[in-house]
Amino acid sequence: MKIDLLYEIQCPGRSEYEAYWEAIEQIELADRLGFGCVWAVEHHFLTGFAHSSAPEVFLSAVAQHTERIRIGHGVVLLPSPFNHPVRVAERIGALDILSKGRVEFGTGRSSPFEQEGFEVPIEESRAMWQEALEIIPKMWATNRFSHRGKYWTIPERDVIPKPIQRPHPPIWMAATSPQSWEIAARNGVGCLGLTIFVSVEQIAERIETYRKGLAHARPVGSFVNDQVGAFTVVHCAETQQRAIDNGGTRAAVDYLSYAFKVFAGGLEPGEAFSAGVPDSELPYQDMVRAYSLLPKLLRGQVEYEDMDQEDMVIVGDPDKCIRKLEHYQRAGCDRVLCLMQGGEIPHQAVLRSIELFGEHVIPHFDPGAVRSRS
C-alpha cells in the first residue's frame, strides 16, 4: 500500500505565503523519504480551510522541487464554467511534461457552495463532469480532435501539449456517496474515497462494490485504472500526548466538521446547526441514515474520540498510525492520502510527522519505496 500526502493549503495561524512555501518544504522531504504521491485539491472560496484554487500552478512548482514522488492533480473540477475541458487537457499535458511523466489526473465536481460561486447549474454538474471526462482522453489520443455534445462544441483542433505518459496519465475521480463508487467503476477510473463521512468498514464495502463494477467497465480512457485511494487526516509524533499537544486531534475534528458542513450543501462556511434541529431536517439524508455519527458532527457535538474509534482519522505515535493504516490495507486500499498540514499544527511538527512516517510507517507498508540518500 502506498502512502501519499494531500494538500488543501490550510491557513489558520499562518499566511498564504507561509502555507505555500512550508508545503513545498514538506513535500521535498516526503520525496526523499519514499512517499508515493502528493495530491493538491482545487477549491474556491473556502477561507482558511483550502487556499488551493490554482493547484496546477502549485504542482508545477512542486514538480521542480522533487524527483520521484508522483504529482496528483486531485481533483480538477470538470463542470463548466470551472474549467473548459480543452484547458484541462492542455494543463495536464504541460504538467506531465514539467514533472517528467509523474502526473495522476483526478476529477470531480466540488460542492454546491463553490458551484454557485461560478454559476454552475448544480443539477447538471454530474452530466457536465461525465461529458468532459469522456472527451479529455480523446484529446490526448489524437492530433485532430472535434466534438459536438450537450455542453461543448469543439471544432477540429490539435489540443497541445500532449502528456508524455503513454497512452495518458492515470485517471481518477473523487467519491463521497456510494453511487460515486459505482460511477467510477463504470467509467474504469480510479476511486479517491473520502473517509471524512464513513468508517473504514463502510469503505471496505464500497471498495468491494467498486471491484465488482469494474468487470462491466466501459473505460473512458485507453486503460482501466483499478486503484483505490482513501483520504484521511493524519498527524504522527513520538508519543500520543505530543500528537495531541501539536494540535493533531483538534485539526482532525475541525477539518471533518467544516468539510461535511460545506460539502453537504446545507451550510456556508462558519454556519452551524443548532442542537434542536431534528435529524430529518439535516442535509445529505442518505449519509445521515447510513452513518449515525453525522448528526452529532453537524451540530458540533463530535469529539476526537468518536472519530478515532471509527478510524476516520489517524493521530498518534508511529505504532498507532501503523495499526490504524493496517485497517485501511485490509479494507482493500491501494494507497492512503494523508492530510498532514492541517489546522494550526506547526510546520516543524508536520515535518517531524513526515519524518516518522518515512522512518517507520512507509517501510511497513511499502518496503520497496525508493528513498534518497541525501
Instruction: For the chain, 374 residues long, give each residue's pLDDT as a single digit of tens.
Output: 999 999 999 998 899 999 999 999 999 999 999 999 999 999 999 998 899 999 999 999 999 999 999 999 989 999 999 999 999 999 999 999 999 999 999 999 988 889 999 999 989 999 999 999 999 999 999 999 999 999 999 999 999 999 999 999 999 999 977 889 999 999 999 999 876 667 888 899 999 999 999 999 999 999 999 999 999 999 999 999 999 999 999 998 888 777 776 665 544 444 444 444 455 544 455 555 555 666 666 666 667 777 777 778 899 999 999 999 999 999 999 999 999 999 999 999 999 999 999 999 999 999 888 777 56
User: pLDDT at position 353, please?
Assistant: 98
Backbone phi, then psi, for 114, in 5-degree steps?
Answer: -75, -40
Quick one: pLDDT at residue 229?
97
- Provide the residue range defining the domain that includes 244: 2-256+314-365
Residue 304 lies in a domain: no
In a domain, 321, yes or no: yes
Q: Is 372 part of any domain?
A: no
Of 119, 134, 5, the C-alpha closest to 70 is 5
**85-98 and 55-65 helices, crossing angle to 10°:** 10
The answer as to whether 374 is a domain residue is no
Query: If you search the block for the grid coordinates 485511494, which residue do you land on?
Result: 229
Residue 270 lies in a domain: no
Gap between the Cα atoms of 62 and 29, Å rounded? 12
* DSSP per residue, 202-267: HHHHHHHHHHHHHTT---SSSS----EEEEEEEEE-SSHHHHHHTTHHHHHHHHHHHHHHHHTTS-
The number of folded domains in the chain is: 1
- Residue 125: per-residue pLDDT: 93
Contacts 24+ apart (CB under 8 A), 255-261: 255/49, 255/196, 255/339, 255/342, 255/343, 256/196, 256/297, 256/302, 256/307, 256/312, 256/313, 257/297, 257/300, 257/302, 258/49, 259/49, 259/196, 260/196, 260/197, 260/284, 260/294, 260/297, 260/298, 261/298
With b meaning 16 or more CB within 10 Å and e meaning fewer, what string describes 4-39?
bbbbbbbbeebeeeebbebbbebbbbbbbbbbbbbb
Q: Where are the alpha helices (DSSP H) in the chain?
A: 16-33, 55-65, 85-98, 112-117, 125-141, 178-187, 200-214, 240-245, 248-263, 285-290, 293-298, 304-309, 318-331, 347-356, 362-365
In a domain, 226, yes or no: yes
* pLDDT attached to residue 278: 53
> Is 122 a member of any domain?
yes
Residue 199 lies in a domain: yes
* CATH code of residue 212: 3.20.20.30
